[in-house]
């Protein structure tokens, strides 16, 4: 009799566990690289993006979502922990890759690990999913790859809920020169029957109508169209598998467009991202204009799965009924590849404050990655030829103001710096203090310069990778020269 009841109790427990799993939502993150909010549902008129538009109509669209870091590895290190990258020492792009490593504080766990511990099957992949190939991680600290069970959620146990990340090239699809633009146009014609015409391109006023800049932007818009189609494919697969209704889908990019004033910079072109969430419990057709940070996807995803949000986590569950909207969002930019920098920003609904801790350096410091882009070459060519107006010269200045302040409502392109305007002195002082308080409260580790040993450790790996089979001696020399220049400027206190 005891054995019978034991078996019965065991069977009931298995059934209850299966039922509980079936009721727990799947979580899917779709995160493209290098892409701003150039989607129809965000007001883009040059192209159509029906799939993200539909997803937004089925859920909630955030119009004021911002990353805490305008470059991929620091941004990804932040959202996978729910922590500011400056708080965990992951603020330098592609850091901890050499002999010297970066370790997370012992208490901090990666989001997929937290999902695993409660029975979720965790995956990270490219799209389309390729068996056995994990997608982009790019974390700036040591981590255990076992936090991901695999690349395909189809490999989970029957009835097991899953947490899946789909990482895609996004804006990187357009490449960096004519060859990349032509390939992007050809892919668009194959997928849609046409490519985006340069005649529909409307550049921000701080970029000139140089033919290369216009063509690059048209190719970028085609990369947005391709990304949108991919969103449709992911949703279609979830529907075909019969799990769409119980899946929370989240779409967000890892930072803005890779351009002169976008990626790596503190302007909205680099920080403002799309954020669309649809699934169980999300009211259709919702639009939210409150300020949110990209790290919040960690907290809201855990909460949606019924997983306790760790007390240490700085992310907030922005979907919680009792959530209190932020009055400001913060961001940081530090070293990117070989280029040493140090910027911080705070943004409210109306104002953006940027502090440049290295004001005696050029806006566009030497950076082999960005300098190889044809758009940067074109900008500099027209600058040297005297073809740029005063607004287009802003990001080509040889020095920076220590502080920048913009009224983002009156001046959405962040052109008119109000830091020296007496009428805005009170706003400047308030936001200066807001930033100081945030840096202190969150333990901003970027306030101490990266050690020479850590810089050299990462640069050794960086340059060694470039000396591979497709070795370009001129490119490597450029990076070596830039490294030497960074050290020289640091020694000079510049």
Residue 23 confidence class, pLDDT cut points 50, 70, 90: confident
Quote the CA–CA distance of 176 and 86 in Å, as a whole number.
30
Question: Would you say residue 416 lies in a domain?
Answer: no
* Portion of the chain with pLDDT greater than 70, in percent: 96
DSSP string, 279-318: STTPPTTEEE-S-EETTHHHHHHHHHTTPPPPTT-----T
Q: Please say if the pLDDT value at position 92 is more than 50.
A: yes
The total domain count for the chain is 1
Per this entry, what is the length of the chain? 494
Question: Would you say residue 87 lies in a domain?
Answer: yes
What SS3 class is residue 2? helix
**Contact predicate 309/96, CB 8 Å:** no
Question: Would you say residue 12 lies in a domain?
Answer: no
Question: Would you say residue 478 lies in a domain?
Answer: no
Quote the CA–CA distance of 229 and 88 in Å, as a whole number.
36
Residue range 474-485: mean pLDDT, rounded: 94
Angle (nearest 5°) at CA 28 between 62 and 103: 95
By the 10 Å C-beta count (0-12 exposed, 13-18 middle, 19+ buried), 167 is classed as buried
Question: Would you say residue 380 lies in a domain?
Answer: no
Interhelix angle 211-240/50-58, rounded to 10 degrees, is 50
Q: Please say if the pLDDT value at position 7 is more than 70.
A: no
Write the pLDDT tens digit of every residue in 174-192: 999 999 999 999 999 999 9
Range of the domain at 309: 24-320
Which position has the token pair 């159509």? 48
Quote the CA–CA distance of 98 and 114 in Å, as a whole number.
28
Write the pLDDT tens digit of every residue in 352-378: 999 999 999 999 999 999 999 999 999
Q: Please say if the pLDDT value at position 2 is more than 60.
A: no
Question: Would you say residue 161 lies in a domain?
Answer: yes
CATH number of the domain within which 198 lies: 3.40.720.10
State the pTM of this model.
0.95
Question: Would you say residue 437 lies in a domain?
Answer: no
Question: Would you say residue 367 lies in a domain?
Answer: no
């Amino acid at each position: 009799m005891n054995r019978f009841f034991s078996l019965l109790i065991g069977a009931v427990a298995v059934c209850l566990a299966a039922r509980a799993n079936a009721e727990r939502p799947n979580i899917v993150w779709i995160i493209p690289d290098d892409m701003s909010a150039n989607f129809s549902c965000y007001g883009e008129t040059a192209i159509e993006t029906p799939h993200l538009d539909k997803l937004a109509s089925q859920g909630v669209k955030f119009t004021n979502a911002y990353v805490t870091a305008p470059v991929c590895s620091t941004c990804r290190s932040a959202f996978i922990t729910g922590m500011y990258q400056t708080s965990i020492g992951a603020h330098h792009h592609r850091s901890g890759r050499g002999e010297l490593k970066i370790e997370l504080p012992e208490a901090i766990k990666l989001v997929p690990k937290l999902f695993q511990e409660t029975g979720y099957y965790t995956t990270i992949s490219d799209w389309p999913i390729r068996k056995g190939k994990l997608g982009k991680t790019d974390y700036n600290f040591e981590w255990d790859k076992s936090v991901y069970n695999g690349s395909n959620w189809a490999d989970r146990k029957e009835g097991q809920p899953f947490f899946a990340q789909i990482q895609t090239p996004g804006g990187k699809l357009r490449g960096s020169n004519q060859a990349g633009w032509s390939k992007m146009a050809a892919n668009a014609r194959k997928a849609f029957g046409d490519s985006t015409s340069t005649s529909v391109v409307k550049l921000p006023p701080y970029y000139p109508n140089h033919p290369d800049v216009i063509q690059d932007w048209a190719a970028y818009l085609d990369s947005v169209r391709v990304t949108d189609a991919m969103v449709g494919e992911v949703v279609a697969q979830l529907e075909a598998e019969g799990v769409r209704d119980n899946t929370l889908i989240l779409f967000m990019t890892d930072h803005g467009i890779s351009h002169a004033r976008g990626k790596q910079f503190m302007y909205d072109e680099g920080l403002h991202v799309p954020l669309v969430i649809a699934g169980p419990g999300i009211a259709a057709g919702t639009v939210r204009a409150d300020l949110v940070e990209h790290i919040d996807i960690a907290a809201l995803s855990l909460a949606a799965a019924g997983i306790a949000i760790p007390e240490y986590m700085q992310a907030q569950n922005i979907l919680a009924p009792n959530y209190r909207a932020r009055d400001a969002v913060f961001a940081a930019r530090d070293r990117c590849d070989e280029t040493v920098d140090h910027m911080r920003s705070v943004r409210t609904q109306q104002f953006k404050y940027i502090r440049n801790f290295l004001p005696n350096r050029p806006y566009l410091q030497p950076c082999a990655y960005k300098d190889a882009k044809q758009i940067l070459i074109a900008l500099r060519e027209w600058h040297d030829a005297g073809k740029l107006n005063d607004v287009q010269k802003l990001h080509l200045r040889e020095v920076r103001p220590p502080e920048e302040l913009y009224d983002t409502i009156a001046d959405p392109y962040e052109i008119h710096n109000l830091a020296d305007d007496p009428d805005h002195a009170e706003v400047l002082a308030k936001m200066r203090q807001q930033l100081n308080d945030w840096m202190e409260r969150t333990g901003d580790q970027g306030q101490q310069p990266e050690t020479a040993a850590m810089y050299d450790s990462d640069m050794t790996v960086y340059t060694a990778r470039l000396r591979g089979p497709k070795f370009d001696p001129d490119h490597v020399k450029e990076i070596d020269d830039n490294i030497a220049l960074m050290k020289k400027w640091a020694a000079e206190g510049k």
